[in-house]
Structure 1
Amino acid sequence: MLSAPVRPTPALAPDTTDPKRFLQKLRHISQRKTLFGRFVKALVIFKPRQQVVPLEIELLPQALEQHTYKVVRSIYFKRLEPFGFSINDTLALPDNDLERLGNALHMRTKRSRLSNTILFKEGDMLEPLALSESERLLRQTDYILDARVTINDSTSTQDSVDVVIYTRDVFSISGSGSASTSGTRLSLRDINFMGVGHQFRTTYRFGLSEPQPWQFTGSYLIENISSSYISAELLYQNTYYYKQQSLSFRRDFYATTTKYAGGASAAWFQTLQPTYILGEGPPPAPNEELSYIPLKYYTQDFWIARAFRLKSYDLARDNPSRFITAARVMNIKYTEGSGPTIQSARLYLAAFGYSLRRYYKDQYLFGFGRTEDIPAGNLLAITAGFEDGAIKNRPYLGVKGAFGKYNPSFGYLYGGVEYGSYRHNEAWEQGVLTSEVLYFTPLHRIRNWRWRHFIWNRTSIGLRRPDFFALDVDQEDGIRGFSSASVRGYRKFVLNYETNLFSPLTLFGFRLAIIGFADMAWLTNVQNRSPFKEKPYTGFGIGARFRNEYLPFNTIQILLGYYPRLPEVGGQQEFKIFQTGRQYYDFNELRFTQPLITEFR
């Protein structure tokens, strides 16, 4: 039997998507002394993009593991400015006036702030994971773009090490504003005030067509006070529909080795809540005016938690698993307003849990090439308590389970389920059952282009609750670009898909990505009815994401959405162009927090 002839391999077609030829033409134009040439030189970055260094995805690479339990002899901080520098290329320097101007206006993070963030000091014995956990904690701050914690092997000895820490700052100051016929907005913030890590944010609106024609929101945050990892925040918000004044102190299980966590807060609130959210009737029909119930209340909240290390059967490694106990006391006092789910009460909660956390590294998830930390592990928590209320007393029981798995060839998968309910008159009431699944694929590459897919599912089911219209599918709660006061429900199932195509193009320092999305949401306001028996609401769209990792307002998204069914336009289809600066997805940290009442949203 004759075999088929082998076809010759065709010659490779020229790469019409390669931007090199186009950039060379722009470079020649930028070298001209004309006004347009100067504009192109300021607009386009001609510096070749640095090669992406393969990441050590392991939690503790072997190169660092060999230094465990050695004495830290010295710590040297190499602090890099936001623009033009690189952690992976120590020879990189700013090469244009805009980058040099940005660095001149920036105040670098102080060494004392960086020293307070890491988990070891000079003279300490280097504990397992101290290097990698310190690197992650530095990257986790809002004002550090990227960080590397390394060992100087040329000067280290058999019993001591010299640690070198590279950090690259984010340009911390930003302001924005907008004006239209409906009002004017001015915003200012600094996420690294004077280089000490303090953050303040302010927003002022005026000329509004509301009974209160102005709004103001301001906050001041101090992170990691005196190396205690206790953060303090002062918040003030004054709008017509919502007012808040609060002061809080908090210490989380910031690292896998943290033993103690806790918090204390005091707050005052004044809100105008739509009547249908509180269970007082159905939502309004399209174009019908909303009715509100005024609420005034204040809260005091205290909690404390302790993590216990579990036995390790490997003498060379610490067992990352922890058994955790926690207690919480919360007092809430209503001075105005009422509703089926509202009562002044004192809540006592206790929780017991198991936590296993690991972190891996990857790129091109929510950023454009910077190192990002991916949480993986398991979490199980059981919460029990008692509500001593002004109207009724009732016990509470809740349970939560979650896991996260990561593999470079598979991607990332997170799954979680949570249930909580009160018991009164020998029956369970005001219950909630929620679940969440997040998956993203491995990173795919075609030359200088990269893309990744995201799939996200959220389910909320109300159980024997009076607030049949508390759930919505607006914006982050369901469908991007969708907003409707009349689409409310009791049970919902949301499915989101997104694809991100990361391009090699840069404009004014902003990297460009093309995104597409498809969102679906099923919602019912009938008790004991499946949301799948209702017709789904959908949204489809495409757009562009501009991201500058070095600025605090680092993401701008412009999207075109198509919505086949909108109640506000008689159920007809509609196209929308909208802008957002928030990322749609985020990681669940698998971190044990204070004992919580399961949220119905």
Structure 2
Amino acid sequence: MGFSFMVEFFKLRQLIVFALMFVVCPPLMAQKKGKQQPIDSVHVKGRSILILGDSSIYVEQDTVLILPDTVAIKLKQDETKKSEEFYKKVKERLYKTRFTKELYRLLFNDVKKVEVKEEEPKAIITNGNYKKYKGQVINNIRIKKLEVFGTRITDTTKNYNSWAINLANDMHVYTRSRIIKSNIFFKEGDVVDPDALTDSERILRSLPYIKDARIYVISRKGVPGVEILVIVKDIWSISGEVSIDNVDRSDFAVIDKNFLGLGHEFRNEFLYNTEYVPKVGYNGIYSVNNIYKTFITGEVNYARSEPLDRVGVRFYRNFITPEIKYAGGIEINKSNMLQSRIFPDTTVEFYTKFNQQDIWLGRSWLIDETDDGGRTNLQLGTRFNRIRYLDRPIIKNDTNQQFFDRNLYLFSVGISQRSYEKSALILGYGRTEDIPSGYLLEFTVGKEVNEYYNRAYLGWRFSVGRYFGRLGYIRPSAYLGGFVRKSRVDQGVFSLQGDYFSPLFRVRKFNFRQFLRLRYTTGINRYDNEFININNKNGIRGLNYTFLRGTRKLSFSSETVAFTPFYIIGFRFAFFGFFDLAIVNANNSKLLKNKLYQGYGFGVRLRNENLAINTIQVRLVWYPVTPPGTSGIGFDLAGQTPLRLSDFRVEEPSVIGFN
């Protein structure tokens, strides 16, 4: 917000006080002369903090402020005036020739409003507040597919038009309507179930080939039943990845997340390394989502290269909504992997060849539902995992235990509560994001039978998350697990983690969020060659040194992100500043007696939510303390995989990882 808006706001507060005095004092109102001041409305996004001078106002939900029109108009002008003037001048200059005119249309979003006539003036269109339609019959379901480029899910009357945009849209294969209908939990002739509509909208948004989705209920006066309008916006599903270390080693991948508009994912990766035979390797995955409307995903993977030979097949179904009663999966694969162990004075490489079979089954019961949409489930799960080695290092009772032939039996019981609310500009760059709130508590027991001995397994997980209004989103988690043999814990792990992000702060045209993460992990009687490290995302981003490893670590990271209003060819810019602190017991068994490693930096990220490609990140970082042979300045230009907030749902029973 500009300074002029701050002044107007404080004037407005005085105006409101005087207006209240006139309301409670009719004689004063009778003496008041002059015309009543017209009013206007201004929309403010929820979960936002308006900074006004030395004060702030927290807006819990999307709100429409009713203001005197002079103030409202001033507010709206302050938001757009400078941007409009800048782009107007650029447009005037570039529209002088045909070439520069097309260049302007390619680089900038020139908004043109398209007038859309209402089919029925008496139609009521609703998104989100579905409870008032509960029990009404669904007469018809309409699917509206927005073009990938030049459209907005929040305002379908806006259209960005240029020859380049039209060409790109024409080249895209859109998701087929039957695929969209197969991923929703209702059909024509059903009665409206508010939870089914809410879950369907969220599931559509979670699909890797969908950028955003909205489900509207349309009712008309005098017409029984309702119509459902499903609006979806695809992403440009074809993307690629390139990694070039040097002329002797590189990777190249071509990925289609929506093959032929069927919702199938097809990944083809080619690996080139002159040190291997053959020099060119291949890694491919073909995945089919929601087979025959069962929400079962099937996946076939094949790899043929020096570091990895694998062929496998996998089918699985998760508890994607609280109403799902059964979940499970089965996986069969055969692998031959090149592995390495790095010691201070040497590196040992060896192959492990093995067959693996994995099967699990889960059952869920919905036991409670609150008025605000929160649902509580009790869930049971059982799992069997079998590994048989065909090639491995020499093993003994106390040597290379990771390569024992083994059968693992696990059983879990868990309770989870889940609810969601829509927001944006958290991990995404404009798409709608579903913030999970609730908790997860899970207990796991089991038994491992290997070729030398048997041992029991005990595990416990707990996580809770909630948006605390003006304070922000807080999510603490705790994990504890390990194998037990002869009253001794083997391969145990204890981990505590806290995650936080703030509400959205708006200053002028920029939106800010603060992110924090604190994590502590310790191993309990881990094997000699099992380590955790503080490299890159595990502690100090950009730092990579083999021997920053141990069995116990503590890390803290802070990041401030400024989402800018700038778009170029659909890419949105976000600037960020960060610092990382981490310590690991690499040299001393007492954690705090080791060096504290630090990283301070800043950078910029570019993300086009219409594309399936990774976020482009440029980062510069300074390390006050560095390991031997490592530079104190780090620069990174790389792709960053898009992230999503993790849910509170029970999955297959598993052993807690040491990472």
Q: TM-score, normalised on structure 1?
A: 0.88
- Classify the secondary structure of the residue corresponding to 1:240: coil
| Aligned pairs (5 A) from 1:418-497 | 418-467=479-528, 469-497=530-558
Q: Which moved more, 1:500-509 or 1:199-208?
A: 199-208
Once the two structures are TM-superposed, the CA of residue 337 in structure 1 deviates from its matched residue by: 1.8
- Give the equivalent residue in structure 2 for 1:395: 456
Q: Which moved more, 1:577-586 or 1:197-206?
A: 577-586
- Give the equivalent residue in structure 1 for 2:474: 413
Once the two structures are TM-superposed, the CA of residue 494 in structure 1 deviates from its matched residue by: 1.8
- Give the equivalent residue in structure 1 for 2:231: 166
Q: 2:635 aligns with which of 577, 587, 596?
A: 577
User: 1:245-271: CA deviations, max 9, x gaps?
Assistant: 221100000112111100000122222
- For the Cα contact (< 8 Å) 2:428–2:642, is it kept in 1? no
Give every structure 1 segment of 4 or more consecutive aligned residues whose post-TM-superposition deviation is greater than 6 Å.
14-17, 316-319
Once the two structures are TM-superposed, the CA of residue 426 in structure 1 deviates from its matched residue by: 2.2
- Classify the secondary structure of the residue corresponding to 1:480: coil
- Give the equivalent residue in structure 2 for 1:269: 335
Once the two structures are TM-superposed, the CA of residue 396 in structure 1 deviates from its matched residue by: 0.6
Correspondence 1:31 to 2:87:
no
User: 1:531-582: CA deviations, max 9, x gaps?
Assistant: 232112222211111010100005111111222333241xx65212212322
Judging changes above 3 Å, is the alpha-carbon distance between structure 1 residues 561 and 67 closer, same or farther for their aligned structure 2 residues? same
- For the Cα contact (< 8 Å) 2:127–2:216, is it kept in 1? no
Judging changes above 3 Å, is the alpha-carbon distance between structure 1 residues 213 and 221 closer, same or farther for their aligned structure 2 residues? same
For the pair shown, the structure with the greater C-alpha radius of gyration is 2
Once the two structures are TM-superposed, the CA of residue 298 in structure 1 deviates from its matched residue by: 1.8
Aligned pair count reads 569
- For the Cα contact (< 8 Å) 2:213–2:233, is it kept in 1? yes
- Give the equivalent residue in structure 2 for 1:4: none
- For the Cα contact (< 8 Å) 2:579–2:600, is it kept in 1? yes
- Classify the secondary structure of the residue corresponding to 1:457: strand
User: 1:430-478: CA deviations, max 9, x gaps?
Assistant: 1111222110000000122111011112222100112365212222222
Q: Distance in 2 between matches of 1:378 and 1:123?
A: 35
Q: 1:555 aligns with which of 615, 629, 636?
A: 615
Q: 1:112 aligns with which of 178, 183, 187?
A: 178
| Aligned pairs (5 A) from 1:142-541 | 142-154=208-220, 160-177=225-242, 180-210=246-276, 212-275=278-341, 283-285=342-344, 289-310=346-367, 320-338=375-393, 339-467=400-528, 469-525=530-586, 529-541=589-601
| Aligned pairs (5 A) from 1:123-142 | 123-142=189-208
Judging changes above 3 Å, is the alpha-carbon distance between structure 1 residues 82 and 38 closer, same or farther for their aligned structure 2 residues? closer
- Classify the secondary structure of the residue corresponding to 2:343: coil
Q: 1:99 aligns with which of 146, 162, 165?
A: 165
User: 1:22-62: CA deviations, max 9, x gaps?
Assistant: 32232122202175564344223343899xxxxxxxxx987
- For the Cα contact (< 8 Å) 1:328–1:594, is it kept in 2? yes
Q: Distance in 1 between matches of 2:210 and 2:256?
A: 13
Identity across the alignment (%)? 30
Query: Unpaired runs of 5+ in structure 2?
Result: 1-9, 12-52, 54-74, 115-125, 394-399
User: 1:400-434: CA deviations, max 9, x gaps?
Assistant: 11111024522211111111111112222211112
| Aligned pairs (5 A) from 1:1-40 | 18-33=82-97, 35=99, 38-40=102-104
Q: Distance in 2 between matches of 1:35 and 1:75?
A: 44
Correspondence 1:589 to 2:647:
yes
| Aligned pairs (5 A) from 1:64-75 | 64-75=130-141
Once the two structures are TM-superposed, the CA of residue 210 in structure 1 deviates from its matched residue by: 4.3
Judging changes above 3 Å, is the alpha-carbon distance between structure 1 residues 522 and 244 closer, same or farther for their aligned structure 2 residues? farther
- For the Cα contact (< 8 Å) 2:584–2:594, is it kept in 1? yes
Q: Which moved more, 1:547-556 or 1:119-128?
A: 119-128
- For the Cα contact (< 8 Å) 2:624–2:632, is it kept in 1? yes
- Classify the secondary structure of the residue corresponding to 2:129: helix
- Classify the secondary structure of the residue corresponding to 1:414: strand
Query: Unpaired runs of 5+ in structure 1?
Result: 1-7, 51-59, 276-282
Once the two structures are TM-superposed, the CA of residue 311 in structure 1 deviates from its matched residue by: 5.2
Once the two structures are TM-superposed, the CA of residue 496 in structure 1 deviates from its matched residue by: 1.5
Q: Distance in 2 between matches of 1:575 and 1:268?
A: 43
- Give the equivalent residue in structure 1 for 2:67: none
Once the two structures are TM-superposed, the CA of residue 586 in structure 1 deviates from its matched residue by: 4.4
Once the two structures are TM-superposed, the CA of residue 526 in structure 1 deviates from its matched residue by: 7.0
Correspondence 1:82 to 2:169:
no
Judging changes above 3 Å, is the alpha-carbon distance between structure 1 residues 399 and 149 closer, same or farther for their aligned structure 2 residues? same
- Classify the secondary structure of the residue corresponding to 1:103: helix
- Classify the secondary structure of the residue corresponding to 1:263: strand
User: 1:153-176: CA deviations, max 9, x gaps?
Assistant: 226856x32111111111111235
Q: Distance in 2 between matches of 1:151 and 1:68?
A: 11
Q: Distance in 1 between matches of 2:573 and 2:458?
A: 47
Q: Distance in 2 between matches of 1:209 and 1:383?
A: 44
Q: Distance in 1 between matches of 2:360 and 2:641?
A: 30
- For the Cα contact (< 8 Å) 1:490–1:526, is it kept in 2? no
